[in-house]
Amino acid sequence: MNEGDAVPAVSFTRADGSSVDMKELVGQRTIVLYFYPKDETAGCTAEACSFRDQYEDFKTAGADVIGVSADDAASHEAFKKKHRLPFTLLTDPKGVGAKAFGVKKTFGLIAGRVTFVIDRSGKIVHRFDSQVRVQKHVEEALQIVRSLEGKTAA
């Protein structure tokens, strides 16, 4: 998936085990959807904590932040609690969602790290793909969200 594409019709699993379709998430607010390899790894923890630290800025700018990995709900809940993550983490156990979004594995082994900004109409307006530049995912996403919503930094 690239800029200008509509979000794919794909479902993820919530912490309570229920399914949520991507199309259900679109419409009310801009969405920052970020795919990451694994809970409690160094890069993923740094990325999640950066999103946490900027979460109020995302909310003020009109966006919801949603993280997605193949980890199960119990892992996500422990990760959220340990690092005080205020945003939603969804499970993609078989990688169907990642595949639908075109998130490729690094070296064919490590789940991809890609951040998408999705506007209220369900179009992808930004894609950032980097396994190592975790802070840049947050910086670019916030900049794009602010430009979409016409908000500036406080």
* Active-site amino acid positions: 44
Residue whose pair of structure tokens reads 């075109």 in the numeric block: 102
What span, in angstroms and rounded, lies between the C-alpha atoms of 119 and 33?
A: 11
Structure tokens at 147: 């430009």
Please tell me the distance from the alpha carbon of residue 153 to that of residue 114, in angstroms, as a whole number: 24
Judging by beta carbons within 10 Å of its beta carbon (0-12, 13-18, 19+), is residue 73 exposed, middle or buried? middle
- Cα separation, 58 vs 36, in Å, equals 19
Q: By C-alpha distance, which of 37, 99, 40, 94 is closest to 68?
A: 37
Give bridge partners of residue 20 from the DSSP assignment. Answer: 12
The amino acid at 116: F
